[in-house]
Amino acid sequence: MSIDSISERQKLSSSHQHKHCVSKAKTRFVERLREMGKGVGRNDEPVLNLLLSNHQIFSAYDIAEKISEMGRRVQPIQIYRSLEKLMALGLVHRLSTRNGFIACYEDGECATGQFLICTECESVKEIDSQLINREISDSAQENSFSIANKSVEVLGLCSNCQDA
């Protein structure tokens, strides 16, 4: 499915105010850089802007291709460096099941790692279920398991794709 058709499908959802998501995420980007005393790398802003363009999953290769199409030749290794920095700043999530990345639109510290992923259009909705968090923590404690990373990726069909 092309990015254009995915974007068109998302525009149909009148309940979502994407400009608000982008504005919040960009504000967090500037704040986090300032808090951590880091500067903006050459590829950081273009990578973040592409990820913020919609709630879709992009691989590092997709990102490199899209940025190169905009007239700036970049290699995937450069993109991975920017993605690592953006993940460390809490602005990007890696989705293991899809081998890709999405922007984080949540306010404050984002530590949930819970996602609903549409297998048709690849849209992603980040959720924050305290029940899921408690169950994972309780199960880990009962099994003397030390959690390194809590990530829950649920695959299915979004409402737009169910209706299509």
Per-residue pLDDT averaged across 123-142, rounded?
92
Structural domain total, the chain = 1
Q: Is residue 99 part of a domain?
A: yes
Q: Is residue 50 part of a domain?
A: yes
Q: Which residues form the domain of 69?
A: 16-163
Confidence of residue 104 (pLDDT cuts 50, 70, 90): confident
Per-residue pLDDT averaged across 58-69, rounded?
94
Q: Which residues contact 98 (CB under 8 A, 6 or more apart)?
A: 57, 117, 122, 153
Reply yes or no on whether the pLDDT at 164 is more than 50. yes
Q: Is residue 104 part of a domain?
A: yes
pTM for the complete prediction? 0.78
Pair 75, 64: CB distance under 8 Å: yes
CATH of the domain at 87: 1.10.10.10
